[in-house]
Amino acid sequence: MKISTKEEVCPPETTTGIARRSVLKSLALAAGAVGMGVPAAHAVGNTRSRRSPLAKDPVIADATKPIVETDLGKIRGYIRNGIFTFKGVPYGDDTGGSARFMPPKKAKPWTNLRSSMHYGSCCPQPDSHGWKHDEEAWMFAWDDGTPGEDCLCLNVWTPGINDNKKRPVMVWLHGGGYTAGSAQELKSYDGENLARRGDIVMVSINHRLNVFGHLDLSAYGPQYAESGNVGMLDIVLALEWVRDNIARFGGDPGCVTVFGQSGGGGKVCTLTCMPSAEGLFHRAIVQSGSLGHSRNPEDAARTTDAFLKQLNLDKSSIAKLNDIPWREIEAAAVIATMPTAPPTLINFRHIGNLLGWAPVLDGKVVTENAFGPKTPDRAKKIPLLVGTNLNEFVTAMDHPEYWQWTDADLQSHVQKVMPQQADAAIKAVKELYPDAKPFQQWSIIASSSVRGAAIDQAMSKAAAGGAPAYLYYFTWQPPILDGRPMAFHCAEMSFTFDNIQRCENMTGGGPEAQALADKVSGAWINFARTGDPNHPGLPKWPEFTAENKSTMVFDNTCVARNNLDDNLQKIVSEV
């Protein structure tokens, strides 16, 4: 979306439906936010060649190749368009029965050759409701996978195996809050194109979520001391698998980037507060994920008590939890975490408090608050790339009538949620985006606290010193559905993974989208390789400082802007 040119610009260097969606949608509607659709050493720019995901290259899959011997046993995958692919690889043991709510254990070794060609099970989770919304379902085309408690598995895409090369490793943590999602949920998560484009090794993982990953039972016996954070401990175990095995897949265990979107970004942040994760990754990318939270033990205990009440269990009968079918566990968890009423204007910095499940700040597994005013000590030496999308949760998917809004509609909706600041907020957004429709301007105001949380995180990182922080703002508007999805929550992922054609229902699949994907994926790859996202296809992207608040705006024309929306951010922060 075109931005007013009044703000200072850094000169370019070159010319070149899950339950959580329903919860977020209901929160936005309660707040008046209608229209919420949830939905270098090795430069990489526009120069690296890559095949289209639809190319007719042979798919190689037979009984003898490709094979990699991991520390647990041999696995066999397949080769597609030159990329070695392994899916559903176990890194942890079954988490059902007596292992439920316990820290993960390494998967048991196997002696026979294990076929690893299809995604493994995903953690049980609430039913998806996104399919009820036709346009949204057409765009996202979710793959809900097969639920089961034997879900500690991962996927690997790599340009080479057993070749003694040291490629950068990128480990993807999926979104869905801490409640839902999987490594296969969206087409954009496929790692083939990113691995090829950047000559990197791509890994994605499944782990425990919701009640299975974050039920704090510590008050019910010492055996449950870490139960509130076993979902995060699963991720640590997966990173240990990467450390021990990724060299056999052509990866460098000393150059690992963890990156995630939404809840996945929150998981990235939480890893920086975990002693057990220290040294397992070296760079961090947070995409629309600065809005997470860690729960204090008191809040977590209240949720636990509400959950156990649904099952008529107490301390004397707590062991029965191991025998209850997981579907009953999940149903009780949904009721126990019904959201409370949101504030007048949703402050997405604190939305995690309304969603129920999250890591617990227990002082042992998670020792610091990743989302507080201070950068965690362990994060100081880790380069950070962080940012958000322009419109996030507030879109016009499934609501073409919102495109007919007038300035009077805009005034009415802003007045409802921020009566004292309405005029100032509208004036600020019209100065920034004078050509935007009234509903688009409403969306920007209603979504501005998501960006505010990312700015806060970059600000604290810059203040901490050590490794740099880089801030981005994805503002590109897809041409599909008359442009009504706007720069929605999840929109950037097709670009970061270089999956424009694979995700054509989100992107339109056109040349403008591909040109931007070249720039975005190139930045992510260079950051993973060097800790710096700059590459020849982008204008100069300065490090974020408190003085410049430099933001790389990703759009048809990419540009670094200083102090882009300070006035609007100040106004909204006063609500």
pLDDT, tens digit, 9 for 90 and up, residues 150-191: 999 999 999 999 999 999 999 999 999 999 999 999 999 999
Count of beta carbons in the 10 Å neighbourhood of residue 422: 19
Q: Is residue 558 pLDDT above 50, yes or no?
A: yes
Mean pLDDT of 505-514: 97
> Residue 551: which of 7, 2, 4 has the closest Cα?
7
Mean pLDDT of 324-346: 79
Higher pLDDT, 24 or 518: 518
pLDDT at 358: 93
Joined together, the tokens standing for residue 82 give 């030159």
Q: Is residue 401 pLDDT above 90, yes or no?
A: yes
Instruction: Give the helix ranges, DSSP H, for 64-168.
Output: 134-140
Joined together, the tokens standing for residue 102 give 């316990």
pLDDT at 109: 98
Mean pLDDT of 352-377: 84
- Torsion, Cα 216 176 144 493, to 10 degrees, reads -150
Q: How far apart are CA 291 and CA 457, in angstroms?
A: 10
pTM (predicted TM-score):
0.91
pLDDT band at 52 (very low <50, low <70, confident <90, very high): very low
pLDDT band at 42 (very low <50, low <70, confident <90, very high): very low
Summarize pLDDT for 462-492 with one digit per residue, the tens.
999 999 999 999 999 999 999 999 999 999 9
What's the Cα-to-Cα distance from 180 to each of 85, 145, 465, rounded to whole Å?
25, 12, 35
Q: Is residue 444 pLDDT above 50, yes or no?
A: yes
What DSSP character marks residue 561?
Answer: E
Q: Is residue 45 pLDDT above 70, yes or no?
A: no
Q: Is residue 513 pLDDT above 50, yes or no?
A: yes
Compute the Cα dihedral for 260, 564, 532, 275 and give only its sign: negative
How much is the mean pLDDT over the chain?
89
Q: Is residue 355 pLDDT above 90, yes or no?
A: no
Percentage above 90 pLDDT, the chain: 80
pLDDT band at 556 (very low <50, low <70, confident <90, very high): very high
pLDDT band at 56 (very low <50, low <70, confident <90, very high): low
pLDDT band at 378 (very low <50, low <70, confident <90, very high): confident
What pairing do the DSSP bridges indicate for beta strands 167-173 and 251-261?
A: parallel
pLDDT band at 371 (very low <50, low <70, confident <90, very high): confident
Q: Which CATH superfamily is domain 16-573 in?
A: Alpha/Beta hydrolase fold, catalytic domain (3.40.50.1820)
Q: How far apart are CA 527 and CA 524, in angstroms?
A: 5
pLDDT at 21: 47
Q: Is residue 80 pLDDT above 80, yes or no?
A: yes
Q: How far apart are CA 413 and CA 410, in angstroms?
A: 5
pLDDT at 258: 99
> What residues have CB less than 8 Å from 413, skipping those under 6 apart?
32, 34, 442
Summarize pLDDT for 301-318 with one digit per residue, the tens.
999 999 999 999 999 999
Active site residues: 262, 392, 489
Higher pLDDT, 356 or 561: 561
pLDDT band at 377 (very low <50, low <70, confident <90, very high): confident
DSSP collapsed to 3 states, 143-211? CCCCECCCCCEEEEEECCCCCCCCEEEEEEECCCCCCCCCCCCCHHHCCHHHHHHHCCEEEEECCCCHH
Q: Give me the residue spans of the domains in the chain.
A: 16-573
pLDDT at 354: 59
Joined together, the tokens standing for residue 171 give 């480990």
Return the minimum-mean-pLDDT range out of 285-294, 345-354, 517-526. 345-354
pLDDT at 2: 67
Joined together, the tokens standing for residue 270 give 């939480």
pLDDT at 1: 75
- Whether residue 259 contacts residue 524, with contact meaning beta carbons closer than 8 Å, is answered with yes
What DSSP character marks residue 358?
Answer: -
pLDDT at 30: 41
pLDDT band at 416 (very low <50, low <70, confident <90, very high): very high
Q: Is residue 370 pLDDT above 50, yes or no?
A: yes
pLDDT at 543: 98
Instruction: Give the helix ranges, DSSP H, for 465-510.
Output: 493-496, 504-507
Largest CA distance in the chain: 69
